[in-house]
Structure 1
Amino acid sequence: MSTTDRQPPLRVLIGCDTFSPDVNGAARFAERLAAGLVQRGHDVHVVAPSKRMNRTGSFSETIEGERMTVHRWTSWRWYPHDWLRFVLPWRARSYARKLLDAVRPDVIHIQSHIVVGRALAKEGAKRGIRIVATNHVMPENVLDFTLLPERAKRVFVRWGWNDADRVLTRAAAVTTPTRRAADFLERNTHRRGVLPVSCGLRASDYTADLEPRTANRLVFVGRVTLEKEIDVILRAIPRIDPELDVSLTVVGDGDQRKSLEKLAQDLGIADRVHFTGRVSDQQLRAHLTEASVFVIASIAELQSIATMEAMASGLPIVAANAMALPHLVQEGENGHLFQAGNDRELAEHVEAVLGLAPEQYRRMQQASLEAVKVHDIDRTLDTFESLYRGDA
């Protein structure tokens, strides 16, 4: 039973620096959170950058199958990045003042401290509105999209964490997707009592094929960017026993696609690697269902919704032993962990999974299906409802 069965609905304002049509973990979480809250009867408003420049307004949009009000603020393209847009900070404060006076939310839930979240937190605090903050941002990751020299990058990282600290101090509760990410946030800021709350997903939306595989297909899902270290996966392919006839599907798009396609050519595996580009949710789920193993080499995951989606699709996981991925992979049970950047070890683990007897492979599939249950979206929604009301 949700809290809305016992208490009146809330007017929730969710502030995002990235949201649909962007494709990334923070955006996906915000979309599912907003849709889940609408399903529970709450009045949900989302603030996000406009889809194109010079378009500010409030629009009725369908997100994850639910209609909600999305307030789009005029944004500008960040050209070192393939899709990122940002709102000018001095305009964001003005937009926030007007919006908060009009909407009068019971609670503001910010998804980052960068621009939109910062403006809403500052103006919301002035009005005494309860603020909940979820951190999806590591300043280190932002560096992939800057042109700064190394010394300047180190200064930027320290400034970035101090900046996050100043914004997050306005929140009554601060969350992040995993305990490891919470510990990381506490080490780099003065925030304490950071709560790990899974981004969540609805496992029933995914289909697991427990029948023996007729082809050895590896799959990766995510943005095709530097931090994902997809090159490590590509370099592992030639190391895998040729008799296994392994192919790789990279589901997603990003600024590194052309360089990775060239790397595949140089490695002589271009005929075995397929880059899908951006796909629909239905196509994404089909790629997961049809695969044999999910591989991820990323070193900067605060949770990895894509890995949870693969688990909900009944896939064994071979993942880098970095950041939050060890929270999802139980060594030898639902997959294996490899040393970050070690393509030889990655290849060995893929061979081990593909070499399992059918009944052993199925046990690994079942272990993924079982492990993902704790990330059910309804648990996540229950937790945030409690935080919004000040009950947790």
Structure 2
Amino acid sequence: MARPRALRVLIASDTYPPDVNGAGYFTRRLAEGLADRGHRVHVVCPSEEGEPYVRRRGLVMEHRLRSATIPVQKTDMRAAVPLGMGGHIARLVQRLDPDVVHAQSHFPLSRAAMRRGRAAGIPVVLTNHFMPDNLYAHARIPAALRAAAGGLAWRDMVRVAGAADHVTTPTPRAAELLREKGFGGEVEPISCGIDLGRFHPRPAERSALREEFGLPDRETVVFVGRLDEEKRIADTVRALARVSRERDVQLAVAGQGGCEAGLRALAAELGVADRVFLLGFVPDARLPLVYAAADVFAIAGVAELQSIATLEAMSTGLPVVVADAMALPHLVEEGRNGFLFPPGDAAALADRLLAVLGSGRARGAMGEASRELAARHDHHRSLDRFEEVYRRLLPAAPRPARLERLAA
């Protein structure tokens, strides 16, 4: 059988590495994964430098638009400058003539790409990574206004999603949430995926890796992610203080964010400053080693649409203890690969951590189960499905612009 022809894919995202967040990392994995399969992939996103440029990184062509800092946010993320953005994307769509435009949000750059794609008769896919909870602290929205702001944001999201030919989101719970917020169309859950080859068990290296990260060689709980309010890392620090009364244990946190000073102060207040290690930003190439240095992964956040970090930990063969909130329960088979705990209950989190750490044999079995469950999220499966979605949306006959290009 002849192989299907390579596709032209234009991916639009309002966040992309070096931005540090799950949506940005997923977008890069998607772009690179599709390009590795022989497709011609272009990404349009904000410039991390401010000035616009076009550059090939590996097999992916990046079109970086002029950007500016976001005054109300606490992060270093930049947003594409609205002035001229629509025209720039329109010219890009006309020149590239993609088979599909795949937007990664309902924010200005992505929605501009959707609008220009539809105007050109090009199929549009939208993947939703949005949760208002992940923006409240960054945008400095007062607590009293968050419910109203969240409602407005969801209505905007639903309106933009209605213009897409196909809508996806990472998990069944995330799809259910979108429907609860008023979206009446079809929503397909497609996992963000995990590279099982990069994140794999390496128990023989655990002690050496702890030394490499400056950690004492003792039982280690790990968390990887932004040090921001919605991640509720303080709950894990409080749980550690309880667990350390019974076991020689420490917490390693890889990431950076606005809560760092508060976490240090809390650890000192609880008398566990010598057991809480904030590793700061860890480059993506070294991230698998952080998980491999640990015994168990814990996450207390309540706004996870999937949690790639939890999947990475599972793929590394770690038991997981996660908050019973949003999509996290979908990653845990209670007692098999880890445990759930009520959100905000540090005492319950401590109890679950003790249950995992209490038996080396049980811990090993849970780690094996985690690896097995993570295999369901192999990123090759996700790439397969996105390719299927793209091809199903292709028109039966080439568009006039494509025919003119072929005839030239």
Q: TM-score interval w.r.t. the shorter chain? A: over 0.9
TM-score (norm 2): 0.90
Q: Using the alignment, how far apart are the partners of 1:82 and 1:135 within structure 2?
A: 21
Instruction: Please list, as runs of the form range in 1=range in 2, the aligned pairs for 1:365-376 lying within 5 A after superposition.
Output: 365-376=367-378
Q: Indicate conservation of the 8 Å contact 2:136/2:146, yes or no.
A: yes
Q: Aligned-pair distance for 1:391?
A: 6.2
Q: Using the alignment, how far apart are the partners of 1:265 and 1:201 within structure 2?
A: 36
The reply to whether residue 266 of structure 1 matches residue 263 of structure 2 is no
Q: Show the counterpart of 1:56.
A: 52
Q: Indicate conservation of the 8 Å contact 1:134/1:175, yes or no.
A: yes
Larger mean CA deviation between 296-305 and 165-174 belongs to 165-174
Q: Show the counterpart of 1:382.
A: 384
Q: Show the counterpart of 1:11.
A: 8
> Residue 273 of structure 1 aligns to which amino acid in structure 2?
V
The reply to whether residue 323 of structure 1 matches residue 326 of structure 2 is yes
Q: Indicate conservation of the 8 Å contact 2:304/2:328, yes or no.
A: yes
Structure 1 residue corresponding to 2:21, chosen from 7, 24, 31: 24
Show CA shifts across 1:68-87 (max 9, x none).
11000111112422222112
Q: Indicate conservation of the 8 Å contact 1:168/1:191, yes or no.
A: no
> Residue 155 of structure 1 aligns to which amino acid in structure 2?
A
Q: Aligned-pair distance for 1:241?
A: 4.5
Q: Indicate conservation of the 8 Å contact 1:319/1:325, yes or no.
A: yes
Instruction: Please list, as runs of the form range in 1=range in 2, the aligned pairs for 1:121-270 lying within 5 A after superposition.
Output: 121-210=114-203, 215-270=218-273
Q: Show the counterpart of 2:75.
A: 82
SS in 2 for 1:205: coil
Instruction: Please list, as runs of the form range in 1=range in 2, the aligned pairs for 1:98-137 lying within 5 A after superposition.
Output: 98-137=91-130
Q: Using the alignment, how far apart are the partners of 1:151 and 1:215 within structure 2?
A: 43
Q: Indicate conservation of the 8 Å contact 2:222/2:252, yes or no.
A: yes
Gaps of 5+ in 2: 208-216, 395-408
Q: Indicate conservation of the 8 Å contact 2:67/2:79, yes or no.
A: yes
Larger mean CA deviation between 100-109 and 73-82 belongs to 73-82
Q: Show the counterpart of 1:281.
A: 284
Q: Percent identity?
A: 42
Going from structure 1 to structure 2, the CA distance change for 1:42 and 1:332 (only over 3 Å counts) comes to same
Q: Indicate conservation of the 8 Å contact 2:162/2:185, yes or no.
A: no
Show CA shifts across 1:196-254 (max 9, x none).
00000121112313569872100000111111100110111111142411100001111
SS in 1 for 2:16: coil
> Residue 387 of structure 2 aligns to which amino acid in structure 1?
E
Larger mean CA deviation between 267-276 and 331-340 belongs to 267-276
Q: Indicate conservation of the 8 Å contact 1:210/1:362, yes or no.
A: no
Show CA shifts across 1:301-346 (max 9, x none).
0001100000011000000001111011111000000000100000
Q: Indicate conservation of the 8 Å contact 2:169/2:190, yes or no.
A: yes
Q: Using the alignment, how far apart are the partners of 2:68 and 2:184 within structure 1?
A: 31
Larger mean CA deviation between 262-271 and 372-381 belongs to 262-271
TM-score (norm 1): 0.94
Q: Aligned-pair distance for 1:115?
A: 1.3
Q: Aligned-pair distance for 1:257?
A: 1.2
Equivalent pairs, count: 383
> Residue 239 of structure 1 aligns to which amino acid in structure 2?
R
Q: Show the counterpart of 1:71.
A: 63
> Residue 177 of structure 1 aligns to which amino acid in structure 2?
P
SS in 2 for 1:198: coil
Larger mean CA deviation between 202-211 and 252-261 belongs to 202-211
Q: Using the alignment, how far apart are the partners of 1:210 and 1:370 within structure 2?
A: 16
Larger mean CA deviation between 303-312 and 158-167 belongs to 158-167
Q: Aligned-pair distance for 1:42?
A: 0.1
SS in 2 for 1:242: coil
Q: Indicate conservation of the 8 Å contact 2:174/2:305, yes or no.
A: yes
Q: Aligned-pair distance for 1:162?
A: 1.4
Show CA shifts across 1:114-133 (max 9, x none).
11111001111111110011
Q: Show the counterpart of 1:307.
A: 310
Going from structure 1 to structure 2, the CA distance change for 1:359 and 1:150 (only over 3 Å counts) comes to closer
Gaps of 5+ in 1: none
Q: Aligned-pair distance for 1:51?
A: 0.6
> Residue 350 of structure 1 aligns to which amino acid in structure 2?
L
SS in 2 for 1:70: strand
> Residue 62 of structure 2 aligns to which amino acid in structure 1?
V
SS in 1 for 2:59: strand
> Residue 183 of structure 1 aligns to which amino acid in structure 2?
E
Q: Aligned-pair distance for 1:93?
A: 1.4
Q: Indicate conservation of the 8 Å contact 1:248/1:272, yes or no.
A: yes
Q: Indicate conservation of the 8 Å contact 1:177/1:302, yes or no.
A: yes
Going from structure 1 to structure 2, the CA distance change for 1:89 and 1:155 (only over 3 Å counts) comes to farther
> Residue 295 of structure 2 aligns to which amino acid in structure 1?
S
SS in 1 for 2:194: coil
SS in 1 for 2:197: helix
Q: Indicate conservation of the 8 Å contact 1:144/1:226, yes or no.
A: yes
SS in 2 for 1:318: strand
Q: Indicate conservation of the 8 Å contact 1:107/1:388, yes or no.
A: yes
Q: Aligned-pair distance for 1:157?
A: 1.4
